[in-house]
């Protein structure tokens, strides 16, 4: 597959085999979201959902089902990829309750979808110092001492996306030719932002302005008219703006959704070249 999320080929038949939607969901409210001191006594991967977080997960499942099913008659199939952290797996359990077993064609724990490694989260006071330092340095390239940067997360998320395309190419996800496939990814705030960056080829400067999804927030990408994934088919300009997308990025999403067919790379030439001659 190519470096964009479309198939990277002009073969229309191949594009029809891509998932109709890729749906990104952040975990529900966790104990750590309520009280950062939880990380001083509980490893990050073992932090649980609150009761409110479980209800949020259940609501997210209802939202997703409402999107992919037509008036309750669901001919679409769902495949889940989930971070191995406890709070994401608990969110998956609540989301899954909205579907019956025949509608779910698979689930896979995917370590590359885990939370960014902050390394010294146990020292909450020191962590606040690091976060202030990151604001000055730049969010994308700043690496927490002993941990990861968003750039590190980008590398492993890129590997996940490549694996997703291979799974589809090799028919590892079972669904019928007349069925729509929906891939649901349950992960973490920064990981979801970086995943969107990788899919839409956003720059480090652009992702620095993005806002993380709220707990159990659902962000939906759907194939547009020309075989490109877009957020604009399910989310309006105001919503995209609240997420931190610039006017230029919103235009890009609309082009992906509705066309016309354009070279999306050339749309961003002015960002890099300001003295190109028109010939």
Which residues are the active-site residues? 27, 115
Q: Which residue has the tokens 């994401």?
A: 88
Return the CA Rg of the chain.
Answer: 19
**In 110-217, at which residue ranges do the beta strands (DSSP E only) sit?**
181-187
Quote the tokens at residue 162.
Answer: 């490549």
Taking the alpha carbons of 226, 229, 235, 237 in that order, is the dihedral positive or negative?
negative
Judge residue 269's burial from the number of C-beta atoms within 10 Å of its C-beta, 0-12 exposed, 13-18 middle, 19 or more buried: exposed
Cα angle vertex 253, ends 216, 75, to 5°? Answer: 60
Count of other CB atoms within 10 angstroms of residue 73 = 7
Question: Which residues are within 8 A (CB) of 89 and not within 5 positions of it... i.e. 6 or more apart?
Answer: 82, 83, 109
Identify the DSSP state of 55.
Answer: H
Peptide bond into 260 cis (omega under 30): yes
Count of other CB atoms within 10 angstroms of residue 14 = 16
Closest Cα to residue 255, out of 6, 1, 3?
6
> Euclidean distance between the first and final Cα of the chain, in Å?
32
> Residue 104's beta-bridge partner residues?
78
């Amino acid at each position: 597959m190519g470096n964009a999320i479309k198939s990277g080929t002009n073969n229309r038949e191949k594009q029809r085999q891509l998932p109709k939607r890729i749906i990104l969901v952040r975990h529900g409210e966790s104990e750590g979201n309520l009280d950062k001191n939880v990380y001083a006594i509980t490893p990050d991967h073992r932090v649980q959902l609150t009761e409110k977080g479980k209800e949020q997960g259940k609501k997210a499942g209802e939202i997703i089902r409402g999107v992919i099913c037509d008036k309750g008659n669901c001919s679409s199939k769902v495949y889940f990829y989930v971070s191995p952290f406890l709070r994401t797996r608990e969110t998956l359990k609540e989301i899954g309750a909205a579907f019956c077993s025949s509608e779910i064609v698979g689930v896979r724990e995917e370590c590359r979808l885990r939370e960014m490694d902050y390394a010294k989260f146990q020292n909450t006071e020191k962590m606040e110092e690091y976060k202030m330092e990151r604001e000055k340095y730049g969010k994308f390239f700043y690496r927490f001492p002993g941990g990861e940067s968003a750039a590190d997360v980008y590398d492993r998320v890129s590997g996940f996306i490549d694996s997703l395309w291979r799974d589809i190419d090799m028919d590892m996800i079972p669904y019928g030719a007349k069925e729509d496939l929906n891939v649901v990814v349950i992960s973490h705030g920064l990981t979801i932002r970086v995943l969107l960056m990788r899919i839409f080829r956003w720059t480090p400067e652009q992702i620095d302005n993005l806002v993380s999804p709220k707990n159990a927030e659902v962000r939906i990408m759907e194939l547009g008219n020309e075989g490109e994934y877009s957020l604009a088919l399910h989310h309006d300009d105001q919503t995209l703006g609240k997420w931190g997308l610039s006017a230029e990025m919103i235009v890009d999403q609309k082009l992906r959704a509705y066309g016309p067919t354009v070279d999306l790379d050339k749309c961003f030439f002015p960002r890099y070249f300001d003295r190109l001659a028109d010939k």
